[in-house]
Amino acid sequence: MTAPALDHSPGFLAEARRTTLGKVFLSPKGGITGAYLLALVLVALLAPWITPYPYDAQNLPLASQPPSLANWLGTDEFGRDVLSRIMYGARTSLSVSVTAITVSVFIGMCLGAAAAYFGGLLDRFITAVIDLSWSFPELLIALILVAIIGPGLTSTMIAIGVAYLAQFTRLTRAEILALKNETYIEATIGLGASHSHVVFRHLLPNAMAPVIICGMLATGDAIILEATLGFFGLGAQPPVPSWGAMMSSGTAQIFKAPWVIIFPGLVIAITVVAINLFGDALIRALDIKSKIREG
């Protein structure tokens, strides 16, 4: 461990990760939020075995019951247990957001790297498209895309991925542009390295950390976007529970059974705050400046 955290030696990320993760989890902010996020992922993975009730078990005599000992968070209009549905909903909401953002980060990195590395017409074209979509709210882009493809979980993923693509492309492009003129890159090119070698072995690994953290923070926004699409009835189709879809069907019962709406929304807010604070702790541990926040 002689290399400092932001040394430009290849593979510094892999090396730093071991120590920074420890740093993140040992800080109070990162520790608490990290534990919460880990627990949430575990709940999502283990949902079929640990929920008190199946997510689709209807019990009409017990419909719209307030929170009680049997149903900790109450029941919805079909007598389904809200807690069980939130736990199952974590599966849908997390997997959709994480998948969409992961793919989006990957494509954004490739586009951003290509634009910055090759420059010229390609760069201008990509920048123009990105600037254009950047100026539209993500929600609108996603809504229009879902209208084109049709409702469902797959189109929700595509819509979220495309909606956030601009952000990752922009950030990668800026990072690579800054790195491109470093002496060691010029030296590598001078030694006759191929384009792909320079981009994938030298530029991307060094530009990656901020983009990945940006992706992590965007996952929080993606959870909200997924919930909003679900709320409009465009995401998960019944009876599959997602946090947004639960609130969508709960709206009609808002006066009779407000807990059907209150709890999923609270879980979303807490989760997104946790992701943000964890991201902050990570940024601090990695010593990356505030450029991620301002895009």
Partner 1 sequence: MLSYTIRRLLLLIPVFLVVSIVIFLIIHLVPGDPIDNLVRVGSTPEQKAEITARYGLDRPLVEQYLIWLSQLAQGDLGTAIVMRRPVADLIAQNLPYSLTLGGLALLFSTVLGIAAGVIAAMNKEGRIDRTVMTGVLFGSTMPSFWLGLILILVFAVQLRWFPVSGARSWESLVLPVLTIGLGGMALVARVTRIAMLETAGKDFVLLLHAKGLPARRIQLRHVLRHALLPVVTILGLRIGWVLGGAVTVEYVFARPGLGMLLIKALSQHDYPVVQACLLMLAMAVMLGTLLGDLIQAAMDPRVRSALT
Interacting span for partner 1 (CB under 8 A) from 66-74, 115-123, 176-184, 259-267:
259-267
User: Two tokens at 3?
Assistant: 């290399």
Per CB under 8 A, does 128 bind partner 1? yes
Q: Closer to partner 1 at the Cβ: 277 or 286?
A: 277
Per CB under 8 A, does 200 bind partner 1? no
Interacting span for partner 1 (CB under 8 A) from 108-116, 127-135, 171-179, 195-203:
127-135
Per CB under 8 A, does 252 bind partner 1? no
Instruction: Give the closest residue to 239 by CA, choosing from 84, 41, 100.
Output: 84
**Contacting partner 1 (CB under 8 A), which of 24, 185, 227, 281?**
227
Per CB under 8 A, does 276 bind partner 1? yes
Per CB under 8 A, does 237 bind partner 1? no
Per the DSSP assignment, residues forming a β-bridge with 179 are none
Q: Closer to partner 1 at the Cβ: 92 or 228?
A: 228
Quote the CA–CA distance of 80 and 93 in Å, as a whole number.
19
**Contacting partner 1 (CB under 8 A), which of 118, 125, 136, 184?**
136
Quote the CA–CA distance of 80 and 54 in Å, as a whole number.
8
Q: Closer to partner 1 at the Cβ: 137 or 192?
A: 137
**Contacting partner 1 (CB under 8 A), which of 9, 52, 254, 256?**
254
Q: Are 108 and 172 a contacting pair, CB within 8 Å?
A: yes
Per the DSSP assignment, residues forming a β-bridge with 46 are none
Per CB under 8 A, does 268 bind partner 1? yes
**Binding residues for partner 1, how many (CB under 8 A)?**
37
Per CB under 8 A, does 125 bind partner 1? no
- 173-176: which pairs have CB atoms within 8 A and are 24 or more residues apart? 173/111, 173/112, 173/113, 173/115, 173/116, 173/123, 173/126, 173/127, 174/112, 174/116, 174/291, 175/112, 175/116, 175/206, 175/207, 175/210, 175/211, 176/112, 176/113, 176/116, 176/117, 176/203, 176/204, 176/207
Contacts with partner 1, residue ranges (CB under 8 A): 128, 132, 135-137, 139-140, 143-144, 147-148, 150, 220, 224, 227-228, 231-232, 244, 247, 251, 254-255, 258, 261-262, 264-265, 268-269, 272-273, 276-277, 290, 293-294
